[in-house]
Chains A and B, each alone.
Chain A
Amino acid sequence: MGSLRDIRRRINSVKSTRQITKAMKMVSAAKLRRAQIKMTEARPYARKMEDVLHSLVSGVDRESHPLLAEREASKSLVFVITGDRGLCSSFNTNALKGADRLVTELKGQGKSVLASAVGKKARRHVRKRAFDVANEWEGLSGKVDFTVASEIARTAMSAYIEENVDEVYLVYNEFKSVTLQNVVAKQLLPIEATGSEAGSENMEFLFEPSIHGILDQLLPKYVEVQVFQALLESQAAEEAARMAAMENATQAATDMIGALTLEFNKARQATITAELMDIIGGAEAVKR
Chain B
Amino acid sequence: MAEKLNLEIVSPDKMVLSEEVDEVVATGSLGQFGVLPGHLAFLTTLDVGELSYRKGGATYYAFVNSGYAEVSSDKVTILAESAEKAEYIDLQRAEEARKRAEDRLSRATSGSETIDEKRAEVALKRSIIRLQVGGKVEHR
Task: Please give the residue numbers on chain A whose beta carbons come within 8 Å of chain B beta carbons, in ascending order.
Answer: 38, 41-42, 44-45, 48-49, 51-52, 55-56, 145-146, 203-209, 213-214, 217-218, 221, 224-225, 228
Contact = CB atoms under 8 A, between A and B. Distances in A.
Contacts of A48: 8, 10, 70, 77, 79
B44 interface: yes
B41 A145 contact: no
A207 B68 contact: no
B14 A208 contact: no
Interface string B1-31: 0000000101111110000000000001110
B45 A208 contact: yes
Interface residues of B, number: 21
A51 B10 CA distance: 13
Interface in B60-103: 68, 70, 72, 77, 79
B51 to A, nearest CB: 16
A38 to B, nearest CB: 7
A38 B41 contact: no
A214 B13 contact: no
Contacts of A44: 8, 10, 14-15
B44 A208 contact: yes
Closest 8 pairs (CB-CB, A-B): A206-B42, A208-B44, A41-B14, A45-B10, A146-B12, A44-B15, A203-B41, A44-B10
Contacts of A55: 43, 70
A221 B29 CA distance: 17
A214 B8 CA distance: 19
A42 B13 contact: yes
Contacts of A56: 43
A146 to B, nearest CB: 5
B115 interface: no
Contacts of A145: 13
A49 B41 contact: no
Contacts of A45: 10-15, 79
Given A38-B13, A49-B79, A145-B13, A208 B68 contact: no
Nearest to B73: A203
Which of A44, A52, A218 has its CB near the most chain B CB atoms (within 10 A)? A44
A205 B42 CA distance: 5
B113 to A, nearest CB: 24
